[in-house]
Amino acid sequence: MAYLISEEAKDLLQDVHEFCENEVKEQCKAYDISGEWPKEIYDKAIEMQLHSLEVPEEYGGPGLSRVDVAALIEEMAIADAGFATTISASGLGTKPVLIAGNEEQKKHVCQKIIDGGFGAFCLTEPGAGSDASAGTTTAVKDGDEWVLNGRKCFITNGGIASFYCITAMTDKTKGVKGISMFLVDAGTPGLSTGNEENKMGIRTSNTCDVVLEDCRIPAANLVGEEGRGFSIAMKTLDQARAWMGCVATGIAQRGINEGITYAKERVQFGKPVIKNQAMQFKVADMEIKTETARQMVAHALTKMDMGLPHSKEAAIAKCYASDIAMEVASEAIQMFGGYGYSREYPVEKLLRDAKIFQIFEGSNEIQRIVVANNTIGR
């Protein structure tokens, strides 16, 4: 792994590696089949505070750089992409508050995480996917409360979150400038969740609808200024996209690892198939793509840590890493031959897991629009 990380992160990386090898990698196979959320695995991760890696140090977090955290998240993704997605999506759920919330809100969500909770970010709706501004969820002011109504869909951590950051329209006449961001705790009357999605991949993560029916929250739960919700959401996604690139890179790295191991053991024509130059070139191409993706993720996260503009870099990291994760997973299956197509072997799962990373947190078509706009100018 070629992330340049701190000594503290190196020690933690070894702990994460051992945890994933002993508690995640093999155990998640059964949950991939059943689709059940593996609570006992996450409980053990919480004991190690692996779910709080993105909590700032001043609020009780470990004080790691984003690149440090990326090395740890990738290690989790190598073991199981659904597990890494759950951890990363919890960080996504805190980002709107860390970006635009007040001090009380920041302390509130960070303490929720430290205490063993997860966050969820609620933007997508049945009629508002790539066009996130088309959402119909509303928030109406009633005295010293906001009343929320609407439905969010495909929400990672939706069924297990301790709090939600939710976009809602507060003034329909203003378009995107009429969207606001709200913080809603789990258990608030009027907030409920739908059935868990029966997904193709990342099946150890929880994904469901979040439903708001006359959900009343204090006026103080408005995050940032009224009408700034869409802007906060876009800033949130600008940060989060690099993390999706990080998880996708982990999927690709797992493909390389599994492919090499199998090719060293598989004997055809009297020698291990890894001895064939065609196979060696395949591995080289897989490694080139994966390492390039990793460095793009690191570059985007470094710019974030430095407080520099990073929208284009994060979009490139997410787009490229997810594209090559699909390619590398496919090549890993090819290295296994017919066995790669069987669920008895680990590589077919990588392809199923990889696909979603080309879709969520802005499809790769949207990422290319972001890159083009930042390169050409609007």
Q: Is the domain of 203 the same as that of 316? A: no
Is there a catalytic annotation at residue 213? Answer: no
| pLDDT tens-digit map of 306-359 | 999 999 999 999 999 999 999 999 999 999 999 999 999 999 999 999 999 999
Residues in the chain, how many? Answer: 378
Cα–Cα distance, 120 to 158 (Å, whole number): 6
Question: What contacts 149, CB < 8 A, 6 or more positions away?
Answer: 137, 138, 140, 212, 213, 214, 215
Q: Check whether 50 has a pLDDT greater than 60.
A: yes
Which helix (H) or strand (E) segment is 192 a member of? strand 191-193
pTM to 2 decimals?
0.96
Q: Strand (E) positions, 233-323?
A: 267-268, 271-272
Q: Do 295 and 158 fall within a single domain?
A: no
pLDDT at 2: 80
- Determine the Cα–Cα distance for residues 194 and 88; give it in Å rounded to an integer: 22
Q: Based on the domain organization, do 165 and 252 belong to the same domain? A: no
User: Measuring CA to CA, which residue among 111, 109, 72 is closest to residue 88?
Assistant: 72
Kindly state whether residues 88 and 137 are assigned to the same domain: no
Same-domain status, 215 and 344:
no
Instruction: Round to whole Å and give the CA distance between 245 and 225.
Output: 30
Claim to verify: residue 242 and residue 301 sit in the same structural domain: yes
Chain center to CA of 322: 12
Q: Do residue 149 and residue 236 come from a single domain?
A: no
pLDDT for residue 1 is more than 70: no
pLDDT in tens, 229-253: 999 999 999 999 999 999 999 999 9
- Which pLDDT value is given to residue 130? 86
Spatial contact of 158 and 208, defined as CB atoms under 8 Å apart = yes
Rounded CA gap, 121 and 194, in Å? Answer: 15
* Domain extent for 180: 119-227
CATH of the domain at 109: 1.10.540.10
How many domains are contained in the chain?
Answer: 3
pLDDT at 68 over 60: yes
**In this predicted model, what pLDDT tens digit does every residue of 111-168 receive, in sequence order?**
999 999 999 999 999 999 888 889 999 999 999 999 999 999 999 999 999 999 999 9
Residues 148 and 235 placed together within one structural domain of the fold: no
Whether residue 128 sits in one domain with residue 90: no
Q: Which of 26, 348, 361, 365 is catalytic?
A: 361
What's the rounded mean pLDDT across residues 103-114? 98
* CA dihedral of residues 54, 1, 355, 81 (deg, nearest 10): -50
Tokens 């949207």 sit at which residue? Answer: 366
Could you list the beta-strand ranges (E) of 240-319.
Answer: 267-268, 271-272
Domain boundary among 60, 93, 114: 114
266: pLDDT strictly greater than 90: yes
Q: Same structural domain for residues 57 and 80?
A: yes
Q: What is the pLDDT of residue 129?
A: 86
- Of 301, 292, 310, 295, nearest to 53 (Cα)? 301
Share of the chain above pLDDT 70, in %: 99
Average pLDDT over residues 16-40: 97
Q: What is the mean pLDDT of the chain?
A: 96
